[in-house]
Amino acid sequence: MKRYYAPLLLLTITALAHGAEETTTTVARSDKTHLSGSSSAQSWGLTQEEWSHYEALKRGERGIWSPSLDPLTTLGVEAATDAERRRYADLLVEKEAQRVKKELAFQRAYDAAWKRRFPALPPVATASVDTTSRLAVFVREDCPACDIRLNTLLTSGHPLDIYLVGSRNDDSRLRRLALARKIDGQRVRHREITLNHDGGRWLQYGQGKMPAVLEKRGDTWLPVTAP
């Protein structure tokens, strides 16, 4: 009977070693996930607990309704108290300001590069306003100047393609914009007015202006200086 002890002992040791290896791998993965979550939380100005709550919200109804929503907006929309909403709103304003600063810096670099390479060719011209022309309007949420300009254009009767900058492909933001500006649903159905996610167009054509109004003639985007 003794001849069976060694193989059995070897199998036991092997199983224990394999189990220890799996445990080590699981712990390593857990540590890596924790570090990744901590880094992400820090970049958005959140605590680890807040980041865990955000991830839980993504797995629930909010993640289905608004899958592309950023962490601060997600937490702000689902906040339980006014104090929480104010905190997340303040953090989002700061984050958006940092993003816009980077985008404007890149736009200035782009303009400078254009002037270096094509000094005799302006990237855009200036358009006079044609009351029958279709205009592209770039706006942001929480932008009083955008609200004023958009209201003027809506009452002018222009066909409009409205682009919401910073929407992150969240359709609920487009719906909020339509409701806030009382955009005529009949005009939307007839495609006189379209509501669109920006998709990087403002960075390419807006010249850093907000709001920005442009008219497309042929392959050229022309900035419009009057409604």
- CB pairs under 8 A, 24+ apart, for 13-21? none
- The tokens for 72 are 């601060």
Q: What is the mean pLDDT of residues 127-149?
A: 78
Distance CA 136, CA 216 (A): 8
pLDDT confidence band for 124 (50 / 70 / 90): low
CA distances from 135 to 61, 120, 157, 216, 226 (A): 36, 27, 11, 7, 11
| pLDDT reported for residue 126 | 45
Q: What is the mean pLDDT of residues 96-105?
A: 77
111, pLDDT greater than 80: no
Residue 57: phi and psi, rounded to 5, are -65, -35
Question: Which residues are registered as beta bridge partners of 214?
Answer: 136, 223
Q: In the chain, where are the structural domains located?
A: 135-223
138, pLDDT greater than 90: yes
Q: Could you give the 3-state DSSP secondary structure of residue 164?
A: strand
179, pLDDT greater than 60: yes
Q: Please give the angle made by the CA atoms of 178, 184 and 189, to the nearest 5 degrees.
A: 95
CB of 31 within 8 A of CB of 41? Answer: no
**pTM tops 0.85, yes or no:** no
The single-letter code of the amino acid at 69 is L
Nearest partner of 123 among 55, 223, 227, judged by Cα: 223
